[in-house]
Amino acid sequence: MMPLPDLLSIIGMSLGVALLTGAIGLLVLHALRSRRLLVQLVVVVLAEALTLASGVLAVAQAMYISAHDFLVVVVVTAVSTLMAIGIALVLGLRLSRAARRLQALTHSVGDGEIVASGDPLPAGGELQRIAEELATTSARLAEARAQVRAIDESRRELMTWISHDLRSPLSGLRAMTEALEDGMAEDPARFHRQMRLQVDHLTSLVDNLFELSKISSGTLVLTPVPLSLRDLVSDAAAELAPVARAKRIELVENTSPDHVVVADPAELSRVVANLLMNAIEHTPEGGVIRIRTEQSADTVTLSVHDSGAGIADEDLHRIFDPGWRGTRARTPDAAGATGAGLGLAIAQGIVEAHSGRITARNEDVGCRFEVELPV
């Protein structure tokens, strides 16, 4: 058995050489911190191999072995060190290629390109998972950018159309007030009626903008209570009945008092009124609008089915965008007002605030809007 003093001497010698070589390796690695990953990996492996080799050689020299045996130790240590460096180079090249792939993927993500993780990375493992995360992030960023562009485009269209809708009644009001001031109005009472209609139109437009602003900013406050959809539909239909009669449109209700939801009465009434008004605007004279409620295990569905010409397939995905209007909706009515394209957007915002869903689809005749609300 080796005497304790000799054992302690070997341990101390090995530890001292290892600390010295490790410190030198750290200094070299710090100096090369900006170099490629392959260079730094070689430095790490070289420092480890030299630490082991220097410790072995120092102890072998101190053991006073023969020159032949010492030469054998030196050769074995040198060959092992060179092999360690070679293996480090091979592994380092794999890691370097993986790092370059990750760098290219990162640049592509930064440039707004949609990237894919592609073939497995040479190093695999964590680097492969990073590449997959970059690919997923790239797809999400591309989707987010597309949504932002769509929202910006919709906002620009909305501002253009709203500016036009505000300018038209204001111009009419100014012309009528000037005619009244100059005494050029042959029928002042008719002018006053027209002015009141224009003011009502402006008031409705401002109210819609305010409602849409609350929905967009998330400040819409709901006061949900249990309410019957039959009562809600009946009230909305009665309010819009004169408008429907003027176009000889029949409103057919098929509802049940058992279809009850927990919702804000004022806001949900606005949804029903907007859908009915939209259906009346797009239903020809002598047409029929059917309002129906149905209930399943989890939802209550309110549908409004008109007998109009339907919606163009390329426009179905835009009908709930704020400010979007079909060609017919841009045609002024008898009062000289046009739809502002906010009704369906407001209806969608209110329904989603109730954790519901609103959809639209074309039927064989006309278009059907459906509002699904949780029971």
pLDDT at 38: 65
Neighbours of 4 (CB within 10 A): 8
Gyration radius from the chain CA atoms: 39
- Put simply, whether the predicted model's pTM sits higher than 0.85 gets the answer no
Any idea where the domains of the chain sit in the sequence? Answer: 4-111, 222-375
Low-confidence ranges of the chain (pLDDT < 50): 327-339
pLDDT at 367: 92
Sole residue written with tokens 């179905």: 316
pLDDT at 332: 43
Q: Quote the DSSP letter at residue 121.
A: P
pLDDT at 335: 40
- How distant, in Å, are the alpha carbons of 4, 5, 59, 131 from that of 1? 9, 12, 17, 55
- Reference 324, options 161, 185, 184; nearest CA is 161
pLDDT in tens, 325-368: 654 443 444 444 444 568 888 899 999 999 999 999 999 889 99
CA–CA separation, 20 vs 49, rounded Å? 13
pLDDT in tens, 195-211: 888 888 888 888 888 88
- Reference 287, options 305, 272, 308; nearest CA is 308
Which CATH superfamily includes the segment(s) 222-375?
A: Histidine kinase-like ATPase, C-terminal domain (3.30.565.10)
| SS3 state at 358 | strand
Tokens of 279: 């259906």
- Reference 355, options 370, 375, 335; nearest CA is 375
pLDDT at 146: 82
CA–CA separation, 293 vs 304, rounded Å? 9
pLDDT in tens, 35-65: 776 677 777 777 777 777 777 777 776 665 6
- Reference 194, options 94, 25, 336, 373; nearest CA is 336
CA–CA separation, 262 vs 274, rounded Å? 20
pLDDT at 119: 54
Sole residue written with tokens 């967009």: 216
CA–CA separation, 88 vs 356, rounded Å? 60
